[in-house]
Amino acid sequence: MSRGPRPHRALAEAIPIAKARGMVQLVMSGPERIFDIAIVSKIPVTFVRVMFAPAILATIQELADDFKDEIGLLRIVARDAAITAEIWLRSRHGTWRFFLVTPNTLVEIDREGKRLVPGSGQTLV
């Protein structure tokens, strides 16, 4: 279950990021919402949950713990090479971090959905 209302400011800023990756379909709000945005492109189709993160510079493990319910819901989405799930986190200062949700881990990616090179630091705007 969600920890509150949709992060409207983050969602508004997420839409142009998503549109750069393909066609965007927004999901209506509701208590059983699994994701906020579906990005439809040739491959993959991506289901994205946009969240506000007060501690944006936390470790991946800390973020996984903080957002375990949302990540758990995203793991319900069937996936293969053509379907992915991501969680996008935004701080109150406009800093973004993006993660690919896999069945067992979170993988930090850039805003285009590409894995970050190890040691390259965090994705900041």
Domain-embedded: residue 117:
no
Domain-embedded: residue 119:
no
Domain-embedded: residue 97:
yes
User: Which tens digit of pLDDT belongs to each residue from 25-41?
Assistant: 998 877 788 999 999 98
Domain-embedded: residue 31:
yes
3-6 long-range contacts, Cβ below 8 Å, gap at least 24? 3/69, 5/29, 6/36, 6/50
- Give the residue numbers spanning the domain of 40: 8-109
Domain-embedded: residue 60:
yes
Q: Which residue has the higher pLDDT, 119 or 96?
A: 96
Domain count, the chain: 1
User: Which tens digit of pLDDT belongs to each residue from 54-71?
Assistant: 999 999 999 999 999 999
Question: Whole-model pTM?
Answer: 0.83
User: What pLDDT is stored for residue 33 in this prediction?
Assistant: 86
Domain-embedded: residue 103:
yes
Domain-embedded: residue 77:
yes
User: What pLDDT is stored for residue 18 in this prediction?
Assistant: 94
User: What pLDDT is stored for residue 14 in this prediction?
Assistant: 94
CATH of the domain at 72: 3.40.1350.10
Domain-embedded: residue 85:
yes
Give the mean model confidence (pLDDT) for residues 11-16.
Answer: 93
Residue 80 has pLDDT above 70, yes or no: yes
Q: Which residue has the higher pLDDT, 7 or 22?
A: 22
User: What pLDDT is stored for residue 124 in this prediction?
Assistant: 34
